[in-house]
C-alpha cells in the first residue's frame, strides 16, 4: 500500500534562518507531488507541484523553493524565513490522471519567530 | 486545476440538521468533482467524489450533487453529528497534474 511521510511535524525557526521540509512517498511510482500551505483558519494554498524528477512548477511567487531530487522525494526550502512564512505545510501526492485521489502527509506546523 | 468558488465560508448547524456546501466552477469541460474533509490539526482526506456522467452520489449520510448546466456541485450532510465538525474543501476540477482547492467551509455542529 502507498504511504506518505512528511517531517518534521512541528518546527520553530527564527526569522532569517533556512528551512528544509521533506516528503517521501512509498508504494507508488512517478506520482504527482504537491506542497500546500495553510494559514490558521484558512484554505489550502498550492505552492508547488511536480510531475517528475527535477520538474517543478511554482504557483505563488515567494521566498520558498521546491526540489524533487528523486521520483518519490519532494523538498520545500527557504534560504531566509520571513514571519509570514508561518503556517501549516502539507505535502500531497496523487497518481497521474484526472480522476485520482490526493493523499496528504501529516503536515508540518512551522512557526517563524 | 480550475479555480472554484466555495460557499459559505462558515456554517453552524444544530445536531441532527442538514448541512449544504456549494462550489461553483467555470470550465465546462470539467468532469471530476471531489470533496475533502479536514479535522482540526489533521490532514485533509477525500470523503466523496463524483464524475460528470452522474448527477448524484451518496455514501451513508453524505452526498454530492452535480449541476453541469449551472456549473456547481454541492456537498450534503444529513443528520449531522458532532464528528462532522471540520473544514470541508471542494477541489477544483483537476488537470492531469495540477490540483487546487476551494477556500474551505468550517462546519460546526452544535449539540
pLDDT tens-digit readout, B61-106 = 999 999 989 999 999 999 999 999 999 999 976 666 788 899 999 9
Q: How far is A78 from chain B (nearest CA, A)?
A: 22
Residue B90 class from Cβ within 10 Å (0-12 exposed, 13-18 middle, 19+ buried)? buried
Q: pLDDT tens digit string along A23-77?
A: 999 999 999 999 999 988 789 999 999 999 999 999 886 799 999 999 999 999 9
Nearest Cα neighbor of B80 from B106, B62, B57, B104 is: B62
Sheet holding B32-38, edge to edge: B10-14, B105-110, B86-90, B32-38, B45-51
List residues of chain A with CB under 8 Å from any CB of chain B.
Answer: 32, 34, 36, 41-44, 46, 49, 51, 57, 90, 92, 94, 96-102, 104-107
Cβ of A43 and B103 within 8 Å? yes
Q: pLDDT tens digit string along B9-50?
A: 999 999 999 999 999 988 877 888 999 999 998 999 999 999
Cβ of B51 and A99 within 8 Å? yes
Cβ of A42 and B103 within 8 Å? yes
pLDDT at A100: 84
Please count the residue pairs, one from chain A and one from chain B, whose beta carbons lie less than 8 angstroms apart.
Answer: 60
* Kind and range of the H or E run holding A22: strand A19-26
CA dihedral B65, B69, B71, B73 (to 10 degrees): 0
Residue A77, helix vs strand vs coil: strand
- Asked if B33 and A88 touch (Cβ cutoff 8 Å), the reply is no
Enumerate the residues of chain A whose CB falls inside 8 A of the CB of residue B91: 102
Q: Are strands A103-104 and A73-78 parallel, antiparallel or unpaired?
A: unpaired
Instruction: Say how far apart CA A2 and CA B101 lie, in whole Å.
Output: 23
Nearest Cα neighbor of A33 from A85, A91, A84 is: A91
For residue B89, give the nearest of A44, A49, A97 by CB distance: A44
- Asked if B5 and B26 touch (Cβ cutoff 8 Å), the reply is no
The model's confidence at residue A20, banded by pLDDT at 50, 70 and 90, is: very high
Strands (E), chain B: 4-7, 10-14, 19-25, 32-38, 45-51, 56-59, 62-67, 72-77, 86-90, 105-110
Q: Is the pLDDT of residue B1 over 80?
A: no
- Sequence-separated (6 or more) residues with CB below 8 Å from residue A47: A35, A36, A37, A58, A59, A60, A62, A64, A66, A76
- Asked if A62 and A83 touch (Cβ cutoff 8 Å), the reply is no
Q: pLDDT tens digit string along A93-110?
A: 998 876 789 999 999 999
Amino acid at each position: 500500500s502507498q504511504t506518505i511521510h512528511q517531517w518534521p511535524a512541528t518546527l520553530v525557526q527564527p526569522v532569517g534562518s533556512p528551512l528544509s521540509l521533506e516528503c517521501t512517498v512509498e508504494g507508488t511510482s512517478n506520482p504527482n507531488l504537491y506542497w500546500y500551505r495553510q494559514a490558521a483558519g484558512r484554505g489550502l494554498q498550492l505552492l508547488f507541484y511536480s510531475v517528475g524528477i527535477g520538474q517543478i512548477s511554482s504557483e505563488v511567487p515567494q521566498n520558498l523553493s521546491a526540489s524533487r531530487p528523486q521520483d518519490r522525494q519532494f523538498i520545500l526550502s527557504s534560504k531566509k524565513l520571513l514571519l509570514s512564512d508561518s503556517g501549516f505545510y502539507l505535502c500531497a501526492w496523487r497518481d497521474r490522471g484526472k480522476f485520482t485521489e490526493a493523499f496528504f502527509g501529516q503536515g508540518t506546523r512551522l512557526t517563524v519567530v | 486545476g480550475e479555480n472554484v468558488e466555495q460557499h459559505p465560508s462558515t456554517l453552524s448547524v444544530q445536531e441532527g440538521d442538514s448541512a449544504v456546501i456549494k462550489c461553483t466552477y467555470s470550465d465546462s469541460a470539467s468532469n471530476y468533482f471531489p470533496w475533502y474533509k479536514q479535522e482540526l490539526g489533521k490532514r485533509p482526506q477525500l470523503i466523496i467524489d463524483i464524475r460528470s456522467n452522474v448527477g448524484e452520489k451518496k455514501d451513508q449520510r453524505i452526498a454530492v450533487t452535480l449541476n453541469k448546466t449551472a456549473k456547481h456541485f454541492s456537498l450534503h450532510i444529513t443528520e449531522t453529528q458532532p464528528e462532522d465538525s471540520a473544514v470541508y474543501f471542494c477541489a477544483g476540477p483537476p488537470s492531469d497534474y495540477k490540483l487546487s482547492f476551494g477556500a474551505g467551509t468550517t462546519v460546526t455542529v452544535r449539540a
